[in-house]
Amino acid sequence: MKHKILLADDDEGFLGVCRTFLERANFDVTVAHDGEEALALLEKEKPHALVLDIMMPKKDGLAVTKEVRQTPWGEHIPIFILTAKDPDDALLKEINEWSPTYYFVKGNDRFEDIISKIQETLTEQENS
């Protein structure tokens, strides 16, 4: 069974590259270009995991994470946060407040490492 991933990022170049890596790793990928679109697609797609950019128009990744975590079905869904900059203490506190599964810094973390962590997390979830 292919795992469904909802990937949300407003950077078309990054979105395309990330989608390609995820699809090569045998994920079924749905893309959103902002947080509102991501929330709208969640109900329809029912993904196994979310990969969210922090800085997006309309609703950022942390706002999406907050809304998802406040729903019964979203309490335990793996959420992987991406950010374009190294988080400072205030941003780290805000990220951790909504319990993402992991967060990654674009440019610091390789796609292979991100995909490996997603695969590991989904496998653990299936086996628990």
What average pLDDT does the segment 72-84 reach?
A: 87
4-122 CATH pick, 3.30.200.20, 3.30.1960.10, 3.40.47.10, 3.40.50.2300? 3.40.50.2300
Question: In angstroms, what CA-CA distances link 82 with 10, 73, 111?
Answer: 12, 22, 11
User: Which residue in the block uniquely carries the two structure tokens 């941003």?
Assistant: 91
Share of the chain above pLDDT 90, in %: 52
DSSP labels, 37-59:
HHHHHHHHH--SEEEEESS-SSS
**Sequence-ordered list of residues with C-beta below 8 angstroms from that of 92, at least 6 positions apart, any chain:** none
Residue 98 has pLDDT above 90, yes or no: no
pLDDT, one tens digit per residue, over 18-76 is: 999 999 999 999 999 999 999 999 988 889 999 999 889 999 888 999 999 988 888 88
**Distance from C-alpha of 43 to C-alpha of 45, rounded to nearest angstrom:** 6
128 vs 49 pLDDT, higher one: 49
